[in-house]
Amino acid sequence: MRILIVGDVVGKSGRNAVDEHLPGLRERLKLDFIIVNGENAAHGFGITDKICQQLYAAGADVITTGNHVWDQREIMNYIDSDPKLLRPLNYPAGTPGKGSAVYEMADGRKVMVVHPMCRLFMDPLDDPFAGTELALKGHTLGQHVNAILVDVHGEATSEKQSLGHILDGRVSAVVGTHTHVPTADHQVLPGGTGYVTDLGMTGDYDSVIGMKKKNASARFATKLPQGRLEPADGDATLCAAFIETDDATGLATSIEPVRVGGKLRQVEPE
């Protein structure tokens, strides 16, 4: 299976990059399944039902989110009606939406997407490790599902790496989101799980993690309240990971970075 997982889409610039580049990537890489993290897609904070439809139209099969999932309040009344939109799985019981699901492709293959959120330097949610184990119960890779993809949304690299090693050999890939900075540690772990600590954002990199530089930088330099943070609006780089899996086992055979458009050095698998 050929899979693309796209890092956090930030604002209009990020959405434009998805519209511009994702259809071509699907064609060139012969993609079977695409996940897009959309938690910053609505002017940098959250996502709306309209933006979900825009991302689906561009090629997303599933949309993941993160700690900004509820920033646009309307999403709370929408998320239960959209099975392809996931919120982090370790929110308390009774929270709208769901944090994992199995999706059947047109050819009958089944893909499971699991979406935990870390706790170090993040909101004090339920245990993401126990929550992930519970979600995986009854879904054995290569038997019940053809691929299992984990978007772990978190700040601390150590917490993401720990989850990757714990799940090694039981899922197809563990990829990190949230920090908006792409890491260079793409690898297939010893048990056969593709891993990268952070995909990076799909946004304008002439910024402070996707936000306009002036107010964002002044917050650190002055320690005084500044104006509202707004997404940078220059050309965006679409950052993602391209993963290939073995059809028999569901384990990863490769994981490679993808960077298209904008200011970062362009990288695309041959």
Whether residue 165 contacts residue 245, with contact meaning beta carbons closer than 8 Å, is answered with no
Cα distance between the two ends of the chain: 16
* DSSP for residue 67: T
Dist. CA 84–CA 206, nearest whole Å: 31
Dihedral Cα 159, 165, 167, 172, nearest 10 deg: 110
Question: Catalytic residues, which ones?
Answer: 68
Ramachandran region of residue 66, left (φ > 0), alpha (ψ -120 to 50) or beta? left
Q: Tally Cβ neighbours within 10 Å of residue 188.
A: 18
Dist. CA 189–CA 108, nearest whole Å: 28
* DSSP for residue 145: B
H helix runs in the chain, sequence order:
11-28, 49-58, 128-136, 157-167, 213-222
Closest CA to 47 of 59, 36, 32, 31: 36
* Distance, CA of 240 to chain centre: 9
Dist. CA 256–CA 142, nearest whole Å: 22
Dist. CA 167–CA 121, nearest whole Å: 22
